[in-house]
């Protein structure tokens, strides 16, 4: 599995992470998950759903609570609890209107970036392609649990895509 270069712009600061599945040169356990789904709804309709990040627990069942700490323009700082252990995590959510919602996970058991990106379908103007990608570090997760965590994130991402499609259509 090849390397991926991920760049995250936040308030004109660039943070670049060199990523490869499972382990980078510093021994961090990184994963890259990339799933997509075409929904039969216009881009504006899908955008209105993914931009309402306070409703994310409906789409992401392991997301137990969302506490917005601050909002500045199209950036939200928040604290969440996730999973059956109610682990706390800090996130910066960046909205790129009608294009993407990027979540930079800065503190917690999992760190990295989750991006939801929208594109109008090339074949159908009334359809939208939703892509959800994760580039995350699992080094703080016990080795024996990493496969379970990865599989759970992948399963929940598939379920989130299906729920998004259900609501949008």
Residue 49: which domain range? 32-139+161-168
Distances (CA, A) of 84 to 10, 29, 139, 149: 30, 22, 19, 12
Q: What pLDDT does residue 124 have?
A: 82
Query: How confident is residue 21, by pLDDT bands cut at 50, 70 and 90?
Result: very low
Please determine, for residue 88, whether its predicted confidence score (pLDDT) is greater than 50: yes
Q: Is residue 66 part of a domain?
A: yes
CATH number of 120's domain: 3.30.530.20
pTM across the whole model: 0.83
Note the pLDDT tens digit of each residue in 102-155: 999 999 999 999 999 999 987 888 999 999 999 999 888 888 888 899 999 999
């Amino acid at each position: 599995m090849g390397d991926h270069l991920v760049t995250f712009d936040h308030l004109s600061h660039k943070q670049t992470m060199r990523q490869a599945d499972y382990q980078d040169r510093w021994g961090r356990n990184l994963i890259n998950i990339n799933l997509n789904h075409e929904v039969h709804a216009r881009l504006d309709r899908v955008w209105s759903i993914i931009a309402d990040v306070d409703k994310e627990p409906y789409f992401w069942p392991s997301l137990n609570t969302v506490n917005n700490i601050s909002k500045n323009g199209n950036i939200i700082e928040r604290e969440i609890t996730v999973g059956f252990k109610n682990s706390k995590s800090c996130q910066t959510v960046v909205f790129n209107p009608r294009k993407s919602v990027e979540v930079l996970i800065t503190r917690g058991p999992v760190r990295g970036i989750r991006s939801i990106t929208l594109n109008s379908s090339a074949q159908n103007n009334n359809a939208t392609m939703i892509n959800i990608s994760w580039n995350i570090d699992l080094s703080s997760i016990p080795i024996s649990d990493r496969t379970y965590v990865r599989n759970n994130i992948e399963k929940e991402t598939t379920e989130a895509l299906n729920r998004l499609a259900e609501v949008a259509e």
